[in-house]
Chains A and B, each alone.
Chain A
Amino acid sequence: MLVRMSAALAAICLLSSPAMSAAAKLTDPQIAHIAYTAGEIDIKAAQQALKKTHNKEVRQFAKDMVRDHTAVNKKALALVKKLKVKPENNPTSRALSKQASEKRAELSKLKGAAFDKAYIDNEVAYHKTVDNALETQLIPSASNPELKSLLQTGLKIFEGHEQHAEHVAAELK
């Protein structure tokens, strides 16, 4: 079985590779940018799904992603504004965005059940990757306690999304 490391996972691994270790300690502005970017990516993926899917469960899942990630990002923006932290673009955010844009291009060629399966399977994988990054990198590196707390709640929300996506994936089989 060919084990394919998703590019998103590779992007997150930039944080822990020895070559990047000096640059790997993330600052709060970078963490905020990564978290916001991760949310924006899922919103865009959901918007694509809402244009293409005819499956009721997939449609509901996509609506849930737009709703939840919009709420979390709104909370994140309010917090960084209050803390006077300016989100800072960084290699991880760029890699995540690039991979997401490639995935959307790939999904744009699919339709019907093939699209639904590919979208949901990617949502499972993507949420697993983001949850792992939150748990092992972003939360431990966050300095500001309010940012840390926001990320901790975010992790619980995204773990919920991962489970929800797995339920939908099981129903699509």
Chain B
Amino acid sequence: MVAALLLIVPVSARAATVRIVMQNLEIAPAAVSAKIGDTVEWVNKDYIAHTATARNGDFDVNLPPNKTARIVLKKAGTVQYYCRFHPNMTATLKVTP
């Protein structure tokens, strides 16, 4: 009986990691859906630096050449983001609860 009380059952779903690649000045996938609590991982495969910068100010992630950076999603909504250095690189992130 004590053992049953000590049994811990995880109630939240396991958070996912969403991987987005910046290569040849393209962001792929360009449209991504994720949930609050998920991790977004941007991988810069270019030899020049990029950023993942939310137009609404939610995040501004620096991505040096051949580096990876991550954020954990905390807010629901659709966020347009781009690279500050090369604004021709654009993408969206749709975050649901």
Q: Please list the residues of chain A having a beta carbon within 8 angstroms of any beta carbon in chain B.
A: 64, 67-68, 71-72, 75, 153, 156-157, 159-161, 163-164, 167
Contacts and interface: CB of A to CB of B under 8 A. Distances in A.
A36 to B, nearest CB: 16
Contacts of B25: 153, 156-157, 160
Contacts of B43: none
Interface string B34-76: 0000000000001111000000000000000100000000000
B84 to A, nearest CB: 7
Nearest to A61: B85
Given A68-B85, A153-B46, 20 more contacts: A68-B49, A71-B48, A71-B65, A72-B48, A75-B47, A153-B24, A156-B24, A156-B88, A157-B25, A157-B48, A160-B25, A160-B83, A160-B85, A160-B86, A163-B86, A163-B87, A163-B88, A164-B85, A164-B86, A167-B87
Contact of A67 (B48, B84, B89): B48
B48 A68 contact: yes
Contacts, number: 39
Nearest to B84: A164
Nearest to B64: A67
A111 B25 CA distance: 34
Interface string B11-48: 00000000000001100000000000000000000111
Nearest to A158: B86
A67 B46 CA distance: 13
The listed residue with most A CB atoms (<10 A of its CB), out of B46, B48, B65, B83, is: B48
Given A67-B49, A71-B47, A156 B65 contact: no
A164 B48 contact: no
Nearest to B65: A71
Contacts of B65: 71
B60 to A, nearest CB: 13
Pairs of residues from A and B, 3 with the lowest C-beta to C-beta distance, nearest first:
A160-B86, A156-B25, A163-B87
A130 to B, nearest CB: 15
The listed residue with most B CB atoms (<10 A of its CB), out of A71, A153, A160, A161, is: A160
Nearest to A166: B87
A160 B89 contact: yes
Given A71-B47, A72-B48, A160 B24 contact: no
